Every structure is written in structure tokens, then in C-alpha cells.
Chains A and B, each alone.
Chain A
């Protein structure tokens, strides 16, 4: 499989780090382009363009960190910070707009009410993505 345009959504977990390394590896062969996107979910109590400083700081920190990892891999990436009501649709829209051929995202092992859960972002992306999707699942520590 060849990938020329890859979208890597991140939220600041360890799985993101592996996901970006993988993306760099996959893109290198064709000198493909990588966009890393962080989506801030804005609560309805605030307008969509509200500037939530703590969230923005966390997002920028994560994007800087990911950029650093890509640099270690000797690869240049573009980063983007988005605000949306729902993360899943924002990722899918971004993928469609940039016409990427792959969404690569890291998944952490999470339990809620004693049950393993993928949350609602991953299932939404799997269901609605206009392109291929690769999930990287973090081993259980």
C-alpha cells in the first residue's frame, strides 16, 4: 500500500507518539505529506470560537511534542489546531477537505464502567472516513 497524504489526529497520549513514528515510516517511501491535527472539543455552553486557554496550551504543547518526534525521524510535518463541537466529524471533515488517503490514529486502552471502550471518536471515524484508516492500539501496561 502506498500513502501520499496522511492525517494523524492526536490528543496527547503515548499512543500518539507511536502513531506519528508509524506515519513517518509509511510516508517516507513516497515523500508523502503528513498533517497532524489536534481537535479541541468546545462545550455548547461556550461559543465555537471561544478561546479556552488551558485547552489551547495543552494542544500546542502536544503538537510541539509530536513535531519533535517527527524531527527525530528526520521528517517534516504540518500541524493544525481545530475547534469543533464533536471531534469525530471534525477529523472526517478535515480528511475529506485535504483529500488524504489515510487516517492513522493511536488508541489507548480505556475502561469505563469496567468495560473496554473505544470512546465515540474512533467508531465515528471508522464509520464515516472517506479513506483508509489504520488504528494503532497501545499495549496494555
Chain B
């Protein structure tokens, strides 16, 4: 694939290095000349100096034949504009933007950016996993389908312990896909599977049904 990366900072540099190793054709656009020289001397002629939001620079970069554009500068607004110019002027099929403010995820999605990556959210998700009392952990978001994969732990005092899956009032947009027992034995739940204390349940749900699912599994 031909992938254009906007921003040759630390993230841009290590990202291009990893993608080059996977055999992709990479071009980095970086405003700063010292940074540009550094990348060229480390990774070869894969970096050109220029503003990744300017149509002329993107034209020279051959954006018209790019399969993907990834904007990872330190400014959310620059990443947004680079992706939009790529998408709407050069018809790049897939655009990915790094965002700092997690709230921008919704805005970027509405404005046509295919994928957003927020380091703030990544850290938050890790904190959720690390805090044992947290009732619900977000494991993965399937963005284009609007679904998420979550994990819920069943505490011993939960009202659902001893009930079968059939007896739970699960929201229609949620599916239990895996139950891992305290003895670390995974099983695929059926209607007759009995919920036990300390079960870890992996479920697929829409974000809207998340709260209803939590209540159905753990009691209010």
C-alpha cells in the first residue's frame, strides 16, 4: 500500500519505521527541515519538507494514488484538515487522524474522517482494565459497525449469580460471546449456561445498550 503520513514527530517516525518494515511504500510530510533531514538520514528518501494541509504539497506527494493517509501532528485541527483535503480533494480511500481531545472523536467522524486514534482514550481504557473494581471494561470498538466489545465481571453478591443466560433480560442489541470462569476456563454461553460468581463475560453491544447490559448482568 502507498501510505502518506503527515507529521514526522516521534509518532510519525516510529509509525513509518514500522510500516516500512511491513513492506509498505511510505511518504512522510514534515514542516521542520531538521526533522525532515533526520528522517531521510535514518529511513532513506521517504520524507519531504512541506505542509501536509496544502493541496500543492499533497499533489507533489502523489496523494492521488495513496491508499491511506495518516495525520499524526500534535494539533487536532491540522490533522483534521490534512485528512479532509486528502479525502475530498484527492479521494484517498482511508484517512486516519490522531486526536488529543477525546471529544473530537465525534466531530471528526461526522466530518468524514474514517478512523480517529486518541492517546487519551487509550490510556483511559488501560486504566479501566487495571482498576479491578471497575464494573465494565471497553476492550475494542468496531467503529464502522458502531459496536463495541466489552468485559463485565460478575461479583459474588450479584443478583444474577445462579441464573441461566435465558433468565437474564439482555438488551436486544447485546450478545454474550464468551464466559471465562474463575478457573480460567473459557466457554461459549448458550441459553442454559449458568452465571457464576467471578465470571468474566465478554460481550458485543451497541454503545447505547451498554448500561442496560451492565444492569442485566450485575443487577442494578
Contact = CB atoms under 8 A, between A and B. Distances in A.
Given A84-B45, A86-B45, A48 B62 contact: no
A89 interface: yes
Main secondary structure of the interface of B (DSSP, over half): mixed
A84 to B, nearest CB: 7
A44 B44 contact: no
B61 interface: yes
B6 interface: no
B61 A89 contact: no
Nearest to B4: A44
Contacts of A45: 59-60, 62, 64-65
Interface string A46-70: 1110000000000000000000000
Nearest to B2: A47
Nearest to B58: A44
B62 A43 contact: yes
A89 B45 contact: yes
Interface string A25-48: 000000000000000000111111
B65 A48 contact: no
A85 B44 CA distance: 10
A75 to B, nearest CB: 33
Nearest to A86: B45
A44 B46 CA distance: 10
A117 B2 CA distance: 33
B33 to A, nearest CB: 13
A48 B25 contact: yes
Interface of B: 2, 25, 27, 40, 44-46, 48, 59-62, 64-65
Given A44-B60, A45-B60, A85-B46, 15 more contacts: A43-B62, A44-B48, A44-B61, A44-B62, A45-B59, A45-B62, A45-B64, A45-B65, A46-B62, A46-B65, A47-B25, A85-B45, A86-B45, A89-B40, A89-B44
